[in-house]
Structure 1
């Protein structure tokens, strides 16, 4: 049974049982405490917690998830995957334990031919929370399970909570027995891989408080509305139904594994370590593809760092399988073909997704090359000094700063007959993990608790009137100070204001929040920010300018009209620039993020190289032609599927409801899903002036533009500069570029002549410098500060000439100079000095330490540099001391 068929049978079953089928949310979650949707319940948290009223009593879904907590287990067990799909059925105050158990058992044990999943009841085991007699008795009454296959377990496995105050409850898990060939007898209590958990039924029935850990809390009482939250692992069911040993061999993952086998020339199943690597590649490539399809791009922090880590682990695994060249073209194509039926976007947008993957692979392969050079030098230094191991701190530096995998470090070091201080490395890694976990806990404590908005959201969704009105009368539903509800707020206080209606736009979709005021009887509030802390609720952060404001009072939101006019022009300009980019570069130049504020727009898009001046001019001209043509701007609210069918573009990673707002500028030429505010016709934008184009990653570019009066003022300022230059240089405007080029050429020629004089002056000092050679230990040393020099190359050339002049006796030359405000020290040694133990690279490092920088090089000539130009004498003294030691 194919993976997609299992999912469809699940959804069909629950649809027949009156559940609303909800599409999968993005892997990118709104929850500020999480980077990703890590479980099927994440998109439903506002409904389960009661913060937001559920729009349906029953629901079912197939939710995409990413979880990297157990990343080291990937490939080693049959069930650990970073990307997985969680089938879930949900009840919000409707059916409870009996319904959940009845549905699960019916779907699992109904024969394949009758639309079920066809599990033999004899292969199924169940666990319940040790104190949950009700669930235990229901399993006995509703199913054919014997008492001995219903096991009672403790809180650590069979009690669910978020680790925060709020809803919680016992759970019941369903396991499949793979048989004695896979492990010992005794059921799920043995915690053996023989028993695979396939479904977890969470009975959310209690309110908890005083939470000190996930399993240590006080139960306040029962929830007024009891909820059901279930999760069935699609990949786990798939590998059982497909008769394979693990999730990596299922139909959606195995093709990537087979592609890795073909590229490596090795056989899957022949070697345990290689098999783990093949499975890591298969999992991580699929996970990376799905993250890319939801708008995540490789980066050095946040979600992008997780994606980068997955890609680099896959590259490392292929390298350990003997493949040192690029492989992503084949691997990602295999994953695309395996996943496209379930997620068509991976095929329709494959060119864009592959561009990121291939660029990241090329970057990391270069990183591996540079890291190998650093590691080779460290290995050579260790061998010269007679050491036996590379320090943990060096290995950690390679891992943390250069992204060089520890496994690869150990492989290279062991080939050289050395070892890595793995204990020290692991200690540093643990310190880093502890810091990260502490930071995550801090963020969770600070940001995750949105229960304060629960009662406010229960009063209804905040109505936004700002598309048509700049002023709206409403009433104050709630006030919050530092997250705590209050009845009143007085002058100078910072307070959150919740209203029934508002004309003020809350920041979203790249458009910043409106400016404005909120006024009422005897008070005025300056609006500092407008946000949506939970879906459907708008919060206004304000400062009480005058008077006293209280809950229940009437209030009028007043938008700063000039700021809104300029902001909406910038937002509409963003749509025009996007359309112009696609006209110029092609359909793969898709949006990767934007920022719009009054007079300014920033637009990020998928593209792997800098735009030429001609291309930028063309994009600017197309955009301004659209402004000139006074195109009509229309908006329509329609079903998401209808909007997509009409060709509307969606921002990757953005979440959309069942109904969306579609914005057209000039009909289908610019058609996007967007909740922002816009002009009525394109002429209202006024002018678009591109002022910047830059890189924001391996495969992303950014254009910036000024809009409207801000664009005009910028161009007027440039015109004034040009006028001043034409006057000062006595050249007409059309000859200005040539005149500046002529002056640059003259300046370059003068600088070259001056450098020649300085170089000759340095050369003239050769005899005098050689004459300063003085004995230091076993060496003759020339150590001089030259003052300023045109270039480091001149200093190097002079040092080599002095060294030659000193003959065959052991000699060391150390010359210091200031080049362009930066200090430099060149150290040169002759053959006799090197034989006696003087290494130029070691001496340059000593000098660099005094300069506040770094240095190194070959044994015969090396260079040190830094930031303190006054420390050149100290650096030369450091060389002298090192020789005399």
Structure 2
């Protein structure tokens, strides 16, 4: 039996032997594509190649790509566990041609691999072709049909419509017909219908491999224009083809899943295959443990938005199903370890990061268990309230709040409701969920990096590459290739124009990898541009952003590009300091620390890293001291270039989410740090000068942030601190060394004065209470107090209300007014025996409208405020009228 790993290896070797470059799987976090939440197909990392925006040193490629389909328009989450084939995480095998071979070779390769290498039975295979589309003025794909006729009889070459057999990258751009390869697995996999045939949703006729023939460019008006160099994009799910080759009924029975399923069986005590209901939960946990491990491994952390929200949903859905199996403690991180063991040969980085991955998952599990307990308390409180008011339907708003805010499973709500004879407003819940999904969809749409659009895309196609020489020199000669202003190309620009300039050669570093772009000067024969920023767009297009400050510039002119040397040096100090900081944090806190983001600028650095708690003052001081110690050691900073694989083998740290080419730049501080990095650095650590941590904070679950300064910025910071301390000492009229003692004494005096103020306020409120409560008015058999008190905040009014409750335990109503210079305050209190006749919340709403405000509250007590204190008397008089009408009417 071929294992999935063998199929993956044979696939890649098959295409390597046929001239394809094997390209490593890209991250699950897509680059350069704001339309995608996750990488969901093998072609994603090649999208710009198909669009003609990026040129690579090969025209044939093959890959086994990590994919995720959960969230956005590609969402298989809710189907996982209930079918044999759906996954959130999966691998897609694919081969690609960028204007090289086309349909003939693509079909030939696919047939040869499936039949000669995987030994699939020829008589069980079918192929589909596009039937044509009159609306697109497109005839049937006779070319593909004729090619398939070399391998298959006519009755097993099927024509399918556009919705099934035409693929487009978007509303415009590259597109073309598809050809699906299908296998008949036999009637035992079918739906039993007499009409079951290819195209049926059951598993009998299973789609194996999709061959996309990109041969058209769709224009905005829908017109299809033939591409000058048609391309090929194919995709075949590894898990699906492995299930077919291994002859098992579902993807969850293949060898990749076996150790994962066994781990779940061990933890839960339930055997897969013994109970269909339990099987659903086991499959959900198996799939979601893979998704969680790979997402965390690629730098995604649980959160309440975007990718982090999907990860949180995946983890919590697995935990919900764990509860169905009796697993009420953290367990998913243990299953994730089985995932890593299963996938370690193809993805060794999982093992390298296993401590971090498992800690992130376990932390989220612990949080969810606390949330689940909290949600149960909220739900029980609401059920008791509903019982008290004679209601028996749990509101949709509560179900939505429990699910969306606390991650509380909806099915637990319905189960609890059913057990006590309650119903659930699922219609209201679904309405709110629909609104939330729409908000999420809009949010996710922009979750990728900014795409290259409009004029930049046009220039990117024209400019093969911009030669960057900024590592070796800060000054160089170049030629202006393009001038842009307001998203339009110009032939020339004059003094005062704000422009973006593209040159064929530059010494300016474009913002990337957390390092800000260079600033400086571009000098031409007739003018100059002051560059305030430099940006690097996908495809290595470098934009010099600035203003024409002298004369004029023109496209085609030769110019001198001069980088601001001081700003570059300051930035380099901060960049090398981040490497020292990263290494030191790993030494002090542990190897689980990973960089998850940074900002490197001339005046500061910001460093985000994975850790699960705030650093103590002592730890921060230790880190700061160790970094400064490394600076004083004057270690050399060595920079070399090598292949990515060699760099990783020699221990270089690759950062989450970063995109690396085949050849990488390795920055090493011998004996301390070795990282893949394209930024600019100092020659030796002593060039940094000094390093000080300004702040440490949390920015997400499991992610901390340190802000710091180095070099000249560190000197300025120390001088500012000293200046502030001197000014403070002058204000306090003490020597600088006595400032702390003086401030402590002042704070102690402030506490004493605050206590005295509180005592006096209490006495004033007590006096006001005596006056207000002394003479109630009789309305029927009820004692009514409607009065303005000498109080100016809600706390004091509640104090009067508390005294009212103590003094009048039944048949009593209090309407109290107070005021500040710009606000009226109102409070209504009703003894509990009267709440059936007078609802404090209803009454306060009517009174609040008089003073221009709103309010509400419980049946026995409610508060409000409004911006019109001059109308307080009118509001109180209205209260008397309402109470008199209600209480004196028999």
TM-score, normalised via structure 1 length: 0.89
Q: How does 1:379-418 map to 2 (within 5 A)?
A: 379-418=383-422
1:745 and 2:751 correspond: no
Check 1:700–1:456 CA distance in 2 against 1; reply closer, same or farther (3 A cut): closer
Q: Which moved more, 1:824-833 or 1:512-521?
A: 824-833
Check 1:715–1:381 CA distance in 2 against 1; reply closer, same or farther (3 A cut): same
Q: Secondary structure at the match of 1:656?
A: coil
Q: How does 1:369-448 map to 2 (within 5 A)?
A: 369-434=373-438, 437=441, 447=451
1:714 is displaced (CA, Å) by 2.2
**Alignment match, 1:48:** 50
**Alignment match, 1:187:** 197
Identify unmatched segments of 5+ residues in structure 2.
Answer: 132-139
Q: Secondary structure at the match of 2:338?
A: helix
Match of 2:98 among 92, 117, 132: 92
**Alignment match, 1:244:** 248
Q: Secondary structure at the match of 2:628?
A: helix
C-alpha distance in 2 between matches for 1:871 and 1:320: 61
Deviation by residue 1:653-707 (Cα, 9 ceiling, x = unmatched): 1111111111123x13022111011112222222222111111112111111122
**Alignment match, 1:113:** none
**Alignment match, 1:327:** 331
**Alignment match, 2:466:** 462
Q: Which moved more, 1:101-110 or 1:368-377?
A: 368-377
Q: Secondary structure at the match of 2:700?
A: coil
C-alpha distance in 2 between matches for 1:627 and 1:867: 61
1:843 is displaced (CA, Å) by 7.5
C-alpha distance in 2 between matches for 1:875 and 1:269: 71
**Alignment match, 1:623:** 627
- Conserved in 1, the CA contact under 8 Å of 2:577 and 2:688? yes
Q: How does 1:824-835 map to 2 (within 5 A)?
A: 830-834=831-835
**Alignment match, 1:526:** 530
- Conserved in 2, the CA contact under 8 Å of 1:52 and 1:454? no
Identify unmatched segments of 5+ residues in structure 1.
Answer: 111-115, 212-216
Q: How does 1:19-168 map to 2 (within 5 A)?
A: 19-30=20-31, 31-68=33-70, 69-70=74-75, 71-110=77-116, 116-130=117-131, 131-141=140-150, 143=151, 145-168=152-175
**Alignment match, 1:214:** none
Deviation by residue 1:175-221 (Cα, 9 ceiling, x = unmatched): 1222212224653233433222111111122222125xxxxx21122
C-alpha distance in 1 between matches for 2:774 and 2:826: 20
C-alpha distance in 2 between matches for 1:372 and 1:816: 39
Q: Secondary structure at the match of 2:236?
A: strand
Deviation by residue 1:79-101 (Cα, 9 ceiling, x = unmatched): 22111111111222322211111
Check 1:605–1:442 CA distance in 2 against 1; reply closer, same or farther (3 A cut): closer
Q: How does 1:515-554 map to 2 (within 5 A)?
A: 515-554=519-558
Q: Secondary structure at the match of 2:599?
A: strand
1:61 is displaced (CA, Å) by 0.9
Check 1:603–1:176 CA distance in 2 against 1; reply closer, same or farther (3 A cut): same
C-alpha distance in 2 between matches for 1:855 and 1:336: 55
Deviation by residue 1:712-765 (Cα, 9 ceiling, x = unmatched): 222222222323444554555455434433332232233223323322333344
**Alignment match, 1:297:** 301
**Alignment match, 1:716:** 719
1:653 and 2:657 correspond: yes
Q: Secondary structure at the match of 1:296?
A: coil
Q: Secondary structure at the match of 1:56?
A: coil
Check 1:390–1:475 CA distance in 2 against 1; reply closer, same or farther (3 A cut): same
1:318 and 2:336 correspond: no
1:511 and 2:483 correspond: no
Q: Secondary structure at the match of 1:189?
A: coil
Q: Secondary structure at the match of 1:525?
A: strand
Deviation by residue 1:808-833 (Cα, 9 ceiling, x = unmatched): x3234566779999998776654433
**Alignment match, 1:634:** 638
1:853 is displaced (CA, Å) by 8.3
Check 1:51–1:839 CA distance in 2 against 1; reply closer, same or farther (3 A cut): same
Check 1:395–1:492 CA distance in 2 against 1; reply closer, same or farther (3 A cut): farther
**Alignment match, 2:224:** 219
**Alignment match, 1:759:** 762
**Alignment match, 2:312:** 308
1:852 is displaced (CA, Å) by 6.9
Check 1:413–1:133 CA distance in 2 against 1; reply closer, same or farther (3 A cut): same
- Conserved in 2, the CA contact under 8 Å of 1:579 and 1:670? yes
Q: Which moved more, 1:648-657 or 1:399-408?
A: 399-408
C-alpha distance in 2 between matches for 1:271 and 1:203: 44
C-alpha distance in 2 between matches for 1:878 and 1:351: 67
- Conserved in 2, the CA contact under 8 Å of 1:450 and 1:534? no
Check 1:869–1:411 CA distance in 2 against 1; reply closer, same or farther (3 A cut): farther
Task: Give the RMSD, CA atoms, in angstroms.
Answer: 3.6
- Conserved in 1, the CA contact under 8 Å of 2:400 and 2:429? yes
Check 1:727–1:166 CA distance in 2 against 1; reply closer, same or farther (3 A cut): closer
C-alpha distance in 2 between matches for 1:571 and 1:268: 52
Deviation by residue 1:485-535 (Cα, 9 ceiling, x = unmatched): 444444544444222111111111111111223232223233344333222
C-alpha distance in 2 between matches for 1:294 and 1:52: 24
- Conserved in 2, the CA contact under 8 Å of 1:473 and 1:557? yes
**Alignment match, 2:211:** 201
C-alpha distance in 2 between matches for 1:445 and 1:603: 20
Match of 1:693 among 693, 696, 707: 696
- Conserved in 2, the CA contact under 8 Å of 1:128 and 1:135? yes
C-alpha distance in 2 between matches for 1:124 and 1:311: 38
C-alpha distance in 1 between matches for 2:753 and 2:783: 39
1:797 is displaced (CA, Å) by 5.3
Q: Secondary structure at the match of 1:174?
A: strand
- Conserved in 2, the CA contact under 8 Å of 1:851 and 1:865? no
Check 1:159–1:678 CA distance in 2 against 1; reply closer, same or farther (3 A cut): same
C-alpha distance in 1 between matches for 2:7 and 2:882: 72
1:770 and 2:773 correspond: yes
1:604 is displaced (CA, Å) by 0.8
Check 1:812–1:417 CA distance in 2 against 1; reply closer, same or farther (3 A cut): farther
Match of 1:676 among 659, 679, 683: 679
Q: Secondary structure at the match of 2:647?
A: helix
What number of residue pairs does the alignment pair up?
866
C-alpha distance in 1 between matches for 2:508 and 2:608: 26
1:53 is displaced (CA, Å) by 1.9
1:294 is displaced (CA, Å) by 0.7
**Alignment match, 1:804:** 806
Deviation by residue 1:214-234 (Cα, 9 ceiling, x = unmatched): xxx21122x222221111111
1:867 is displaced (CA, Å) by 9.5
Q: Secondary structure at the match of 2:223?
A: strand
C-alpha distance in 1 between matches for 2:385 and 2:774: 34
Q: Which moved more, 1:462-471 or 1:71-80?
A: 71-80
- Conserved in 2, the CA contact under 8 Å of 1:50 and 1:454? no
Check 1:180–1:624 CA distance in 2 against 1; reply closer, same or farther (3 A cut): same
